[in-house]
Structure 1
Amino acid sequence: MHFFAMSISRWFLLLPKNSQMLITKLVGLAVWLAVSGSRKNMMIKNIRKTLHVTECEAYKIGKASITRFGGILTDLLKYPRFSKKNIKNFVDFQGLENLEKALSYGRGVVMVTGHLGNWELLGAALAYQGFPMVAVTRRQRNRSFDSFINVFRHIPDGGTVLYKDNLRAVIRALRKNKIPLIFIDVDGHDTGIFVEFFNQWASTPPGAAVLARMCGCPIVPAFISQVPNGKHHIIIEAPVWIDKSIDKKMAIYDTIQRLSSILEKHICCSPSEWFWLQDRWRTKPANKNQ
């Protein structure tokens, strides 16, 4: 798979910029056409309910949210060309001092983000900047595609990929003062905790807060979005510390609610860059007052 992935990357990088842009658009359109009508309807319904927009506006936001996958995939192919010297030609950074401060405690850092912008590039760009990033991800149903993406995730120096079910490895990474990157905007199903997300109860994985409390490390929210000139912009928020002076359950709830509110703020700034195709509010609380 490594040879196959790198061969595609080399071929893509040899193309003129206009051809690269055309392929990006075609891949995005192909992804849009591959999505079933029922999934699109679910997505548009959630956008209307969440953002209080018209059906036409929701359709535009939803389509932009899906077709941008062309850019996410073709950006992966550019990873071999990135380096610490040139990464700032592609990505702007805001708040690097927040991450440096969080690392200075020597306890590791739990970085949290959402499926906003080119989330794959978020961790990679920081790794190219020399930060010890660890991608914590779930296995793709298509194992070949999973292997394909992992080839590029390992390209940055020290790039590490861990699966969500390997908790011990994530804890070891924190103890080595590394930075696991965890997503907090997926349906937590029955094991999640319910917090308010766009004024709706959303089952949310508590793992980021649990890890931070267990290891005594800070949590740093970070997000990426694309700006009009084509570059990507990364914002790194100030460290969040979990309150260990209060009940464990309440501390985890308060932290996840705070992080979800921060994520919500960033989605509102770039709604078409969030992954609306997931049914974020699928799991309902048994008690509406929960």
Structure 2
Amino acid sequence: MPVFFKFLSALPLGVLHGLGWVLGWIVWLASGVYRRRFLANVQQAGLTLRACLGAVGQSGQLVAELPRLWLGRPVAVDWRGAEHVQHALAEGRGVVFLTPHLGCFEITAQAYAQRFGQGAHPITVLFRPPRQSWLRQLVGAARQRPGLLTAPTTLSGVKQLIKALRRGESVGLLPDQVPPQGMGVMAAFFGRDAYTMTLSVRLVQQTGAAMLLAWGERLGGARGYRVHVQPMSAALPADLTAAATAVNRAMQDLVLQCPSQYLWGYARYKLPRETAHE
């Protein structure tokens, strides 16, 4: 399988996106569970299927582009809102980047590492290691690059994030990912309670770090990606549930910027798994 990934990584981005588009539709047509969840989440958000149907193919592109992003040549990236990153880093108090399951969330950390992370401000990304040993090794090697570090979803990983922020560095989280039990609260997401991580809020409260919203738009015609960055519209409340609700509201606003690239098939409203162990 690693050899196959290496082969895919050499293909043009347009070819991978074309294959991914087909893959996305095959999964949509073959899996009734996935299709019903996709439609239910779109309806919960109050959006039309027409506005979100492009996400069927985009979800396949999300998978197909990974070999290129992990192992292949660099891809074209431009920025919208890079000045917010520069300002936050200049303050020297660390930055927490929040990225939903929107567009290419793999590219956001890579693009940051390339532009900002190879000096005094690397970024540490929280991620859940795959269960398959070959994939765990592949992902671990691919994500360890200049300016980009990883931390596991364990207590030791959280401590790693806190230390990074206290050094004035950056961390990246997917706040719309369902956390382990005991590491979140119920907070509204598109009008329905969803178990929502409090880690991003606690990191800001404990370290005084800045918080920025970021997502990677997948550009058409294999033109690469555009990283969008913007600040939170207001300071987070002290109460964890109120703060998690504010984060969810911010994630909603990002999704509504480009609903055709959101991962609507993600089981956002599922029950949390057991608490992670160190």
Q: TM-score range by the shorter chain?
A: 0.7 to 0.9
Aligned match for 1:216, one of 184, 198, 208: 208
Q: Distance in 2 between matches of 1:253 and 1:240?
A: 17
How far residue 147 of structure 1 moved from its aligned partner, in angstroms, is 2.4
Q: Distance in 2 between matches of 1:218 and 1:241?
A: 12
How far residue 71 of structure 1 moved from its aligned partner, in angstroms, is 4.3
TM-score normalised to the size of structure 2?
A: 0.81
Q: Which aligned pairs between 1:134-145 and structure 2 lie closer than 5 A?
A: 134-145=124-135
Q: What percent identity do the matched residue pairs reach?
A: 19
Instruction: Show the counterpart of 1:260.
Output: 248
How far residue 173 of structure 1 moved from its aligned partner, in angstroms, is 1.3
How far residue 115 of structure 1 moved from its aligned partner, in angstroms, is 1.1
Instruction: Show the counterpart of 1:158.
Output: 147
Instruction: Show the counterpart of 2:276.
Output: none
Q: Distance in 2 between matches of 1:179 and 1:153?
A: 15
Q: Runs of at least 4 residues of structure 1 off by over 4 A?
A: 11-15, 239-243
Q: Give the residue type in structure 2 aligned to 1:95.
A: G
1:244-274: CA deviations, max 9, x gaps? xx7x4x2x33332222222211211211211
Aligned match for 1:148, one of 132, 138, 143: 138
How far residue 51 of structure 1 moved from its aligned partner, in angstroms, is 3.3
Aligned match for 1:270, one of 258, 263, 271: 258
Of the two structures, which has the highest relative contact order with CA contacts closer than 8 Å and spacing of 6 or more? 2
Instruction: Show the counterpart of 2:230.
Output: 237
How far residue 63 of structure 1 moved from its aligned partner, in angstroms, is 1.8
How far residue 25 of structure 1 moved from its aligned partner, in angstroms, is 2.6
Q: Give the residue type in structure 2 aligned to 1:139.
A: P
TM-score normalised to the size of structure 1?
A: 0.78
Q: Which runs of 5+ in 1 are unaligned?
A: 285-290
Q: Which aligned pairs between 1:56-135 and structure 2 lie closer than 5 A?
A: 57=50, 60-77=53-70, 80-82=72-74, 90-131=76-117, 132-135=122-125
Contact 2:9 2:69 (8 Å CA) reproduced: no
Contact 1:198 1:264 (8 Å CA) reproduced: yes
- Aligned CA-pair RMSD: 2.9
Aligned match for 2:175, one of 175, 180, 184: 184
Q: Distance in 1 between matches of 2:39 and 2:67?
A: 26
Q: Give the residue type in structure 1 aligned to 2:91.
A: Y
How far residue 74 of structure 1 moved from its aligned partner, in angstroms, is 4.1
How far residue 8 of structure 1 moved from its aligned partner, in angstroms, is 4.6
Q: Distance in 2 between matches of 1:154 and 1:80?
A: 14
How far residue 92 of structure 1 moved from its aligned partner, in angstroms, is 1.3
Instruction: Show the counterpart of 1:228.
Output: 220
Contact 2:19 2:61 (8 Å CA) reproduced: no
Contact 1:218 1:242 (8 Å CA) reproduced: no
- Number of aligned residue pairs: give it: 262
Q: Distance in 2 between matches of 1:206 and 1:241?
A: 17
Contact 1:112 1:181 (8 Å CA) reproduced: yes
Contact 2:103 2:218 (8 Å CA) reproduced: yes
Q: Which runs of 5+ in 2 are unaligned?
A: 273-278
